[in-house]
Every structure is written in structure tokens, then in C-alpha cells.
Structure 1
Amino acid sequence: MLQSSTLKFIKDLSKNNNKPWFDAHRKQYDAAKTDFTTFIQAVIDKHGLKDDSIREQEAKKCLFRINRDVRFSKDKSPYKTNMGASINRGGRKSVFAGYYFHLEPGQSFVGGGIWMPMPPETKKVRQEIDYCFDEFKKIVQSKKFTNIYGDLYREEDMTLSRVPQGFDKNNPAGEYLKLKSWIAMQSLKDADLTSKDLLKKTVTAFEALQPMVIFINRALENVE
């Protein structure tokens, strides 16, 4: 579980997104970061018993920085109003699929997969889905997966308008080949975040996602 003070800090930051306020509340930020890091490490330790590809990851290396990159953004707010952790084989910046936890009061979620891979990785994933569609379909349409995630993320900005070049337009895997990212998300209520069941809920979600992570990473083994 996470402390209510961690959620409060994020909420307060969203209302006071400026450096003077942040500097004055540095202790609260440090406490919130420690709380979040401790929770993520507990997730790694627990799920790492079933997925040895993440077993050696350290939570502090999985967290994203609170500072925003404002160089190319019209929004010059200096800080993110969320905390996120990407738990991946090979580390947070690796090309491999993995798991993600997003802490943002009112918009928190748990899930993962692979987000906007580069063209070589995208090609490999699509080829694997095409070659092994029965296996992939069984994974993402399984009761365990759909009970938690429903379906893969299919917002318009993450989907091509037609089956990509190189694949038959009537390919039975077409709807999955059109995706630009292969991710799944389960929303978390604020009450979930401070519940003693948060660790169990998160690990259960990761367990349901693991077969898809394995499938995608198998495709990426030999990316050139």
C-alpha cells in the first residue's frame, strides 16, 4: 500500500507546480518518493519470483524523474504530477516489453506491454503476431487477461487506419497488426492505492500480463 501523504503531495503539486513551492516542500517530496520506491521494490521482489527477467531490477532505477522536459513543450510546468515506474527486462530504457505502474490521483493504473517501439521492434512484433496469431489471440483473449484488462489499448492515436504494408488486408490478425503499441491497462481508484491489497492487486495484474510480455520479448530477441 501507499501512504495517503504520498497522494496528498501529488495533489498539492498539481495545484502548485512551480519551483519555489517544490523547494519549500522538498521533505514531503522525498518522503513520497521513498514511499513509492519501497512499494515498487516490493512489487519487483514479489513478481520477480514468477518472472526472473525482472528479478534483479532495482526500484530506484525503474522510476521516472519528477522533472518534466519542457524544451519542446508549450506547457512550461517544471514537474510531472504523477509518479511512474517501468519494470523491464534490461532496465527502464531497454527495448523490451515489461510492466508499468502509474500513480496519479484520479488517473492511476497498472499494466504494461511495449509502448511506441521503434520501426525495427515494431516490425518484429507484427511478424510474431502474424506467424503465431493463434497463440497471441489465446493470450489476449484469455479469461485471466480479459477479466483484468478487457482488451489491449486501442485509442485512435495508437492505431493505424489500415493493415500495415507487407500484410494482407484481410489478415485475421489485422486488428492487432494495426496497433502502434501493444499495451494493457487496469485503472486504479485512489482507495486502491492506500489499500493493504494494493501489492496483491498489482502482482495479479502483472501475472495476467506476463504471457504477452514473454510473447513480445521473444520477438525482440534478435532485433538488429
Structure 2
Amino acid sequence: MDIPEILDFLKRLAANNNRLWFQEHKVEYQRVQKSFEALLAAVIARVAVFDPSVAHVQPSDCTFRIYRDTRFSSDKSPYKNHIGGYINAKGKKSNHCGYYLHLEPGNCMLAGGSWCMPSDMLRAVRRSVCDNIDEYRSIVEDPAFKKYFPVVGEEHLKTIPKGFPKDFPYPQYIRCKDYTVSCPIPDTFFEDPAFLDKIADVFAQLKRFADFTNFTIDDFE
């Protein structure tokens, strides 16, 4: 795997996001794709040590297409400026919480969670948090977890959701519109010979959160 090559390609793609340039560099992209799949294979092997449910997952199952859907976007750039892979025991389109690796120059991250949940599923996860608040707090307030994931959720309601007690003492935990977490990493992260061990450390903390949310989510899957 050659991560500097991947990041360099993505940087040049961002500056030349058009079909002609991409076609002229298609062979290079194919090499980058293989390199990213090799990275995913190595990460899957590390994650499977503490989460055997992903042992069967193949890199090709995880990788997202680089082609953008521009039908409903004012940005008509045909390609993404990043490459990502979602290691998920139930498939990359599942609401089941998995492990996401995102490479983008200046915006790399390790993340996971459940985005765009149906309203009944989101309500059930919030209810689980509310009913098991001590267990939930033991995960998300643990310094070992917060070191990588200081905030849960990308978007939050301004008030307590309907149907939940207005005096709930930890409103920040049920106002989430999504139950996701992310850990930004610098491009230089991959220069460390032990970067795979560090990825495993981050995702091992994510698994604690995933186990909690998946207990409810998997009833819907």
C-alpha cells in the first residue's frame, strides 16, 4: 500500500476534477484503488481481532465509488476528492454501526456510526440511551473514548425530542439527529510505522459505542 501516492493523486484530482484528466490518469487511479484496498484488507484484519463479525468482509465490499451523483447537486464535479471504505458486518449501506476510513488531503478521518436512520429507529436508539444512561455514559464519557471521539452526532436538536422527559439530566445525549463519531487524523498520521496499530486503537474504542447502538439497531435490520 502506498498512502502518500493515494493522497497525492486525490490532491491532483481535486485540482483537475474533470473527465478528460481522469481518463488520462485512469491507470494511475486503478493503482491507487488497489493500494487503498490493500490498506482496507490490513485494517479489516486488525479490527477482526476484537470484532470477529467483520472477518468475512472483503475490501471490495467496503469501498465507495469515486464517481459523484451530480443529479441533485449544484456542484457538477464528476469525481469525489476523497476515497473511503466502510467496514461493516452487514454491508456498507446498512444502518448497523461499522468502521469508516476516509482519505482526503487535509481531511482524513476514522469514523463510524449510523447516519440517516429512519425516524422509528432513531427514536428507539434515543430511548435506549435514555433507559440505559449509566451504561451509555460509561462509554462516551470515558477519557479513553473521548480522546478520539469528543462529540457524538454531527447534528443536534435544539430541544428535547418529543416523547422524552423534559427534565432528562443529560439532554445532549438524546438530542442527536444521528449517532455518529469521528476522529480527524493528519496526513502525516500514515508516516508512523505503527499507524495500523493506532487505527486499531481508535476502532477498538468505537466498537464499545457500536455495540451499544447496534443492540437496538439490529432489531430493525
Per the normalisation by structure 1, the TM-score is 0.94
- Report the AA paired with residue 27 of structure 2: K
What is the CA deviation profile of residues 120-176 of structure 1, one whole-angstrom value per residue up to 9, with x for unaligned ones? 22112111101101000110011210122223245xxx1111110000111123211
Tell me the distance in 2 between the aligned counterparts of 1:175 and 1:203: 28
What secondary structure, in the 3-state scheme, does the structure 2 residue paired with 1:23 have?
A: helix
CA distance in 2, matches of 1:63, 1:5: 18
Partners of 2:93 and 2:213 lie apart in 1 by 16
| Corresponding position of 2:205 | 208
Conserved? CA contact 2:95–2:115, under 8 Å: no
Runs of 4+ in 1 over 3 A off after TM superposition: none
1:87 has 2:87 as partner: yes
Alignment of 1:158-177 (within 5 A): 158-177=155-174
Q: CA deviation at 1:197?
A: 2.2
Q: Supply the distance in 1 between the matched residues of 2:183 and 2:144 (Cα, whole angstroms).
A: 13
Aligned residue for 2:118? 118
| Further displaced range: 95-104 or 110-119 | 110-119
Range with greater deviation from structure 2 (16-25 or 165-174): 165-174
Matched, 1:188 2:182: no
**1:94-133 pair list within 5 angstroms:** 94-133=94-133
Percent of pairs with identical residues: 33
For 1:184, what is the secondary structure of its paired residue? Answer: strand
- The amino acid of 1:141's aligned partner reads E
CA-based RMSD of the aligned residues comes to: 1.4
Q: Which amino acid aligns with 2:200?
A: V
Question: Alignment length, in residue pairs?
Answer: 221
Report the Cα offset of residue 65 of structure 1. 0.4
Which residue number corresponds to residue 71 of structure 1?
71
Q: What secondary structure sits across from 1:185 in the alignment?
A: strand
Is 1:218 the equivalent of 2:215? yes
Task: Give the Cα separation in 1 of the matches to 2:150 and 2:64.
Answer: 27
Seen in structure 2, the aligned counterparts of structure 1 residues 2 and 111 have a Cα distance that, compared at 3 Å, is farther
Aligned residue for 1:42, secondary structure, equals helix
Structure 2 spans left out of the alignment, 5+ residues: none
3-state SS of the aligned residue for 2:183? strand
Q: Give distance in 2, aligned partners of 1:166 and 1:2.
A: 50
Unaligned residue ranges in structure 1 (runs of 5+) = none
**Greater mean deviation of Cα atoms: 132-141 or 91-100:** 91-100
